[in-house]
């Protein structure tokens, strides 16, 4: 028996990294998984990787839906596909997001709008449009970050978006409690993902960036997507049935020491 047997889950931003690892873990635990991503080719490859890992045989299917969470029309299409299955949603992981380094004096309106548009606006309207589909007792997990509570030079816009996500978790947990819906945030520390490597100015500088980040973690290394996925699974499953409005740090101690 898997921890999510018979449940339906939606993971946004699941082309790679933490999103893909979580979608794969949800499927392995018995969930029917819908996953979204902006790049269709990568999304198709993500779906195939779950099928090849045995996910589809465990749950009876996995569905990929191309979409950008900052586009309300795309969100409508995603929710329509979920609704068509007729089982509602038991788990929603709003993982889609991203950011980049930019010093205060160089921040542009475009940088601000893009980062807030995906991380904050995208998260808000993903959850809002999923509300009619969320079953009683559903679990919503929002992708936060250790950046929300720690000042990082040239990363202020991203950090501000994740602080907003932390606030959303508290407010929505209170607002949806009468439906038995739990809302929590997961706060990963530095994790070995394509997104983290993409923060480097050039691909050749990525190894040095990752090494520097690993040195800031008490455990002395970066996290892996599978480790973050395990923490998300805990929040998504009945193992965390008395936890809501919280922030779970999976950061190797980076923000705790």
Give the pLDDT of the chain (257 residues) as one tens digit per residue.
899 999 999 999 999 999 999 999 999 999 999 999 999 999 999 999 999 887 555 555 899 999 999 999 999 999 999 999 999 999 999 999 999 999 999 999 999 999 999 999 999 999 999 999 999 999 999 999 999 998 899 999 999 999 999 999 999 999 999 999 999 999 999 999 888 888 888 889 899 989 998 999 999 999 999 999 999 999 999 999 999 999 999 999 999 88
Tokens of 48: 């195939």
CA–CA distances in Å: residue 118 to residues 58, 95, 174, 191, 256: 32, 10, 24, 20, 28
Q: Write down the H helix ranges in 29-133.
A: 40-52, 55-59, 72-85, 109-116, 122-130
Q: 0.85 exceeded by the pTM?
A: yes
Q: Which fold would CATH assign to domain 8-250?
A: Rossmann fold (3.40.50)
Helix H or strand E segment including 136: strand 134-143
Could you give the residue numbers annotated as active site? Answer: 158
Tokens of 167: 């606030």
């Amino acid at each position: 028996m898997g921890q999510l047997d018979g449940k339906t889950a939606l993971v946004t931003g699941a082309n790679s990294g933490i999103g893909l690892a979580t979608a794969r873990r949800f499927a392995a635990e018995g969930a029917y998984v819908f996953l979204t991503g902006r790049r269709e080719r990568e999304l198709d490859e993500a779906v195939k990787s779950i099928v090849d890992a045995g996910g589809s045989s465990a749950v009876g299917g996995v569905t990929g839906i191309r979409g950008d969470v900052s586009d309300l029309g795309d969100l409508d299409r995603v929710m329509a596909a979920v609704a068509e299955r007729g089982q509602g949603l038991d788990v929603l992981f709003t993982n889609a997001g991203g950011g980049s380094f930019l010093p205060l004096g160089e921040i542009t309106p475009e940088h601000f709008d893009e980062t807030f548009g995906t991380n904050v606006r995208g998260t808000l309207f993903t959850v809002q449009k999923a509300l009619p589909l969320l079953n009683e007792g559903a679990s919503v997990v929002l992708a936060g970050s250790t950046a929300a509570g720690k000042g990082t030079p040239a990363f202020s816009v991203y950090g501000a978006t994740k602080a907003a996500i932390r606030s959303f978790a508290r407010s929505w947990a209170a607002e949806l409690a009468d439906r038995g819906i739990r809302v929590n945030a997961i706060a990963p520390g530095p994790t070995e993902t394509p997104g983290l490597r993409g923060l480097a100015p050039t691909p050749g500088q990525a190894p040095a960036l990752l090494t520097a980040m690993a040195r800031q973690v008490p455990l002395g290394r970066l996290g892996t997507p599978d480790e973050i996925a395990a923490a998300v699974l805990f929040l998504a499953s009945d193992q965390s049935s008395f936890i809501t409005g919280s922030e779970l740090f999976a950061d190797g101690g980076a923000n705790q020491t």
